Chain A
Amino acid sequence: MTAEPVDVLIVGAGASAAAFAWSLAETRMNIVCLEQGDWMDPSKYPGLGGDWEARQLLGDFGFSPNTRGRSEDYPVNDSASPIAASMFNAVGGSTILYAAHFPRFHPSDFRVRTLDGVADDWPLDYASLEPYYDVNARMMGVAGLAGDPAYPPKVVPLPAVALGKVGRTLASGFNRLGWHWWPSDSAITTQDYEGRAACINAGTCLSGCAHGAKASTDITYWPAALRRGVTLRPRCRVREITVNESGMADGVVYYDADGVERTQKAHVVVLACNGIGTPRLLLNSRSRQFPDGLANRSGLVGRNLMLHPYAMVTGIFDERLEGYKGPTGCCIWSHEFYETDRARDFVRGYSLEIVRGYGPAGAALWGLSTGRISPGAGHHEAYGALFDRAAGMVAICEDLPDADNRVTLDPQMTDSNGIPAPKITYRLSDNSARMLAHAVARATEVLQAAGARDTVAEAPLQPAGWHLMGTARMGTDPARSVVNEWGRSHDVRNLFIIDGSIFVTSAGVNPTNTIQALALYIADAIKKNLANLFD
């Protein structure tokens, strides 16, 4: 079956696609989105059952698509990376699992070459994205506190999440050292907001929020986009983008839920499959005109993969911290070590994101993995010393682009439709290794200042490949970038990319707020250039 061409065809229905579709729908164009996953049913989220931790840590809501065993997932060969790939495939994409920690980039993040002599400047700046950050804050429902000295003034529509004992205890450590901290911007409703209920501090954010307080895009942008007339077709897995004789994209070939091969023609194709899914699809779209993959004349598709090496440092305290209560990854942050300091042995910097503790099973499994709790004799004493007494932070280190860190196609592995799967090859740079060491030392210091009697460091944190960036970078020079300054492919003028693939650098904070602000920015650029979109 070959359906009539649609005006705009979006592939992927995660964080970026939802924001983009909602914005572009204002034009009343015929917009269709194909998503390989399905709508999620929050009444089936793990948090409603006693086995929620097992489902998150060992089962069907794990972070890795390789272990979940869901047919909607595709495998990722991450054996050549010290950091595992992590994502979710459904309407809402990886926001179904994300922690909703929602910082903006800093103004300096867009000027790294000018300021620090590394990587490249972005072809846009903070001021260009600022209005889109504001729209995104309203649409996602961002909670926080105005006045953070680490940032220019910004819109924060909702009051901060409850910091709890963990936040209070760790904040006292930062205060003792005179270091910056602030309540985190969190995409979590702390009051009833736009039909969403206020957070009830259930602490299961990383396996889906059954309460609708965490802003996954299936409950924020998508309902609004559908009301504006966008069509979303779940369980449609795109195999490749097709091109016509003149080298323009003319649609896609995909498999429906029954595995039947179908085509969908389109005037404009927009990719939103994330920093691994998008290069995979481009590399799978080979043709006579594009033998090395679509939009890949620069040879940069898949290259410059950035993952944000994480350090996780956990303090063990004497008192109980109630860390299993409250949003797991949203509490307070510190940007004390964010900007480049020439006195250090690395360039750029990192943010610290305080993470609360574990639930009862999570504590046991974490204790086991770090050698703090063993089976057999002494088990209960070790568990008692740890459960509800462990809390700490992750350091999110800026990852600089390196062409050898990349996504390629695995020669053997395929998904359930037989489509070649991606392979990631990633090496930790010396700069990142030094930054991680610095972060571990500083996090340990602040935990001790907060009263921790012991600390445990994990760096790089192996499961933490959840920020996927850089694999189809933006820029003004077609030889050094895949898309231009508003997301349009240099090689294929009706092909756009709107996800984290287009990041030039990674900054030292979580990316999703910026991914979405950029998607809104690109949607507006398309609206403004409609008359001569392909010139």
Chain B
Amino acid sequence: MSENHERSSFSDHQARILAEVLDAIIPPSADGLLPGAGRIDLAGAIEDALRQTPEVLAMIVQGLSSLDELARRRGSQDFTALHETDRREVMEELASSQDAFPPVLILQTFAAYYRSQRVLEELGLEARAPHPSGYAVEPNNFALLDAVRRRPPFYRQC
């Protein structure tokens, strides 16, 4: 959905790491029609969603720094400079050491990705909120109930 989100918690560098991590969580589809989660700007949407829980947002920011730190221990300048396989290994290393950061980020990424206009349109959905227009639903056909209607009452009399 086309909504503008202000991004302030992540530095430009952290935003670049985040984009790589998001792409690993939801990569582009094989046919290229659906983008990777790091290629559409989800950082602002994730920040918005976590505004009520700043401690969770802080944990994500901290998690991004930890990725850099782990990359440096491997002799790389930072996380973004790693090759793809190394990046995956570093992310796995973090996942096994810190339990909260990856699961929270995955939840938030899924939630943000599947509300983005580009993705919804690609899925053949209208990129809009359910209200106020709602949806048309096929009219009821109660011929299906004929067999049930023929059944005598079966509640216990008491």
Contact = CB atoms under 8 A, between A and B. Distances in A.
Contacts, number: 179
B157 A107 contact: yes
B135 to A, nearest CB: 4
A203 B130 contact: yes
B106 A175 contact: no
Given A47-B131, A204-B130, A107 B49 contact: no
Contact of A107 (B34, B154, B155): B155
Contacts of A52: 129-130
Given A50-B127, A360-B115, A375-B109, 6 more contacts: A168-B144, A171-B144, A200-B135, A360-B114, A360-B120, A376-B27
Interface in B1-39: 1, 3, 24-27, 29-30, 34
B138 A164 contact: yes
Given A145-B142, A360-B125, A380-B30, A50 B111 contact: no
Interface string A357-393: 0011101110010000001110110000001000000
Given A53-B111, A175-B144, A375-B25, A202 B49 contact: no
Interface in B101-150: 106-115, 119-120, 123, 125, 127-142, 144-145, 147-149
Interface stretch (A55-63, A259-267, A495-503): A55-63
Interface size class of A (residues with CB under 8 A): 35 or more
A60 B137 contact: no
Contacts of A200: 131-135
Contact of B130 (A47, A60, A363, A380): A47
A463 interface: no
B140 A147 contact: no
B73 interface: no
Contacts of A368: 106-107, 110
A115 B114 contact: no
B45 interface: yes
Task: Determine chain B's interface SS by DSSP, over half rule.
Answer: loop
Contacts of B109: 375
Task: Determine chain A's interface SS by DSSP, over half rule.
Answer: loop
A180 B151 contact: yes
B83 interface: no
B63 to A, nearest CB: 15
Closest 4 CB pairs of A and B: A200-B134, A50-B1, A202-B130, A325-B135
Given A50-B129, A51-B115, A149-B153, A182 B148 contact: yes
